[in-house]
């Protein structure tokens, strides 16, 4: 009888304790680790290091990257990056805003807004002012990897003010 009650008790115990709030110290530790992987990600982008960049992505069906109105899977991005990145000489990033959102000990989101300069090997260049990035990283097997990415220009949302009275 006691054994029959032990299993449900353990299940309830696990269910009720898995959503504990994190302490400020735990959040700070995740942010410290997160800032390292975010730095590595930006460093890979700055010098167009395709191998390093792909090693920071989660090779999983859960992976998604949203850019230019499209959603890319890991496989699509792994195929596209080696074709595109060699044409980019370097990128620059001037941060205007950044924020870490700690979700749990194994997951955080990073939000960035700033100017992104792209310098191509052809000599062409562009600066994307007020560019927005959002990256969600998940820790698996002791390593932080990007699971969801999104980038977009910062454009005003068109609002029809004639309907407001």
Tell me the pLDDT band of 138, cut-offs 50, 70 and 90: very high
Across the strands, what pairs with 140?
Answer: 143
Residue 19's pLDDT is: 59
Residue 40's pLDDT is: 98
Q: Residue 18 domain-assigned?
A: no
Tell me the C-alpha distance between 124 and 118, whole Å. Answer: 8
Cα-based distances in Å from 83 to 36, 53, 80: 27, 13, 5
Q: Residue 16 domain-assigned?
A: no
With 60 as the cut, is the pLDDT of residue 2 above it? no
Residue 160's pLDDT is: 67
Tell me the C-alpha distance between 19 and 24, whole Å. Answer: 15
With 80 as the cut, is the pLDDT of residue 164 above it? no
Which alpha helices (H) appear in the chain, and where do they start and end? 2-17, 24-46, 50-55, 74-84
CATH number, domain with residue 31? 3.10.450.50
With 70 as the cut, is the pLDDT of residue 13 above it? no
Q: How many CB atoms lie within 10 A of CB 38?
A: 22
E strand or H helix at 114, and its extent? strand 107-120
**Tally of structural domains, the chain:** 1
Q: Where in the sequence is the domain holding 133, given as residue range(s)? A: 23-154
User: Which residue did the predictor score with more confidence, 64 or 1?
Assistant: 64
Average pLDDT, the chain: 88
Give the tens place of pLDDT for each residue, 19-72: 578 999 999 999 999 999 999 999 999 999 999 999 999 999 999 999 999 999
Q: Residue 2 domain-assigned?
A: no
Q: Residue 148 domain-assigned?
A: yes
Residue 154's pLDDT is: 84
Say which residues have a Cβ less than 8 Å from residue 121's Cβ, sequence separation at least 6. 86, 87, 88, 89
Tell me the C-alpha distance between 163 and 165, whole Å. Answer: 6
Asked if residues 151 and 133 have their Cβ atoms less than 8 Å apart, the reply is yes
Residue 1's pLDDT is: 46
Q: Residue 162 domain-assigned?
A: no
With 50 as the cut, is the pLDDT of residue 16 above it? no
Cα-based distances in Å from 161 to 154, 158, 164, 165: 20, 9, 5, 8
Say which residues have a Cβ less than 8 Å from residue 36's Cβ, sequence separation at least 6. 144
Q: Residue 135 domain-assigned?
A: yes
Q: Residue 9 domain-assigned?
A: no
Q: Residue 141 domain-assigned?
A: yes
With 90 as the cut, is the pLDDT of residue 124 above it? yes
What pTM did the predictor assign?
Answer: 0.82
């Amino acid at each position: 009888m006691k054994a029959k009650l032990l299993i449900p008790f353990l299940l309830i115990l696990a269910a009720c304790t898995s959503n504990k709030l994190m302490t400020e110290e735990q959040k700070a530790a995740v942010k410290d680790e997160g800032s390292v992987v975010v730095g590595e990600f930006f460093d890979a982008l700055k010098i167009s290091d395709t191998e390093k960049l792909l090693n920071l992505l989660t090779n999983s069906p859960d992976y998604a990257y949203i850019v230019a109105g499209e959603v890319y899977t890991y496989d699509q991005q792994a195929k596209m990056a080696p074709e595109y990145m060699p044409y980019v000489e370097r990128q620059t990033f001037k941060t205007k805003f950044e924020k870490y959102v700690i979700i749990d000990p194994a997951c955080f989101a990073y939000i960035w807004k700033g100017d992104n300069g792209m310098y191509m090997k052809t000599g062409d260049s562009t600066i994307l002012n007020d560019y927005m990035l959002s990256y969600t990283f998940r820790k698996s097997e002791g390593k932080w990897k990007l699971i969801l990415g999104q980038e977009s220009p910062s454009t005003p949302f068109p609002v029809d003010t004639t309907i407001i009275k």
